[in-house]
Amino acid sequence: MEDPGTVYFTGTAGAGKTSLVRATADWMRSAGYATTVVNLDPGSEGSSLEPDVDIREWVRLAEVQDEYGLGPNGAQVAAADMIALKVFDLRQAVEELKSDYVLIDTPGQIELFAFREASKAMVDALGGDRSAVAFLYDPALTRSAGGFVSLRMLSATIEFRFRLPIIPILSKVDVLKSEQLTEILAWSEDPTALYDAVTREAPTPEVQLSTELFRAIESMEPLSNLLPVSAQEGTGIENVYRSFQQIFGADEDLEPSQATGPE
């Protein structure tokens, strides 16, 4: 059996990673695809996600804090490195479920996933070359052209770090007005429209910096495949799945009858 397609959902805090993992898993299971959900956040306290494999079985943030006398930030860093030591336990737990897809909810602090060497080692061990990253563009930040540019660069940094396909997702579109959604999608497809929007913003140092960053973005491919998605309303989830298939299935749809998983 071929290794499952493994997708890491990441983005800035509050972008809606956990909600989208849950909504995507629900959609895929209802369509008949065997899907495993993994929680990779040792500090998760919410109950909205019911993972099949949970890093908190091995590493819990509160326990790391207490045992080593660390503050919240120090405990997060220490926990990230401890998780890397448990990667083969995680992999064994995932393999036992024999799924077609593995959806991984990463920590809310994106830097813990994006910049720790432990994360890169973990990605290599868990999914190898059958991995992808779903990067969530938070509408609270993408409402401004400068915020959009910043997230575009962050997404590019993650792509550079992991050398994996990136699935760009505009999350929580239910909070956007239709004209805001239209404008953001135009920025994603047309560098000129994005540049014009950046230069129209107030001439603060931040915007001037955004203009310089834009020049780097000009050399990148337009985000013509930015996917508008609402976990709340369940819209756009099928397009997320289609992106998985383009990456892992060579555009050939996996029939539900082929899905294998625990009885």
pTM for this one?
0.88
pLDDT, residue 1, reads 57
- What fold is seen in the domain 5-139+163-174+225-246? Rossmann fold (3.40.50)
Question: CA 178 to CA 194: how far, in whole Å?
Answer: 18
pLDDT at 31: 93
Task: List the chain residues with pLDDT less than 50.
Answer: 251, 256-263
| pLDDT computed for residue 140 by the predictor | 94
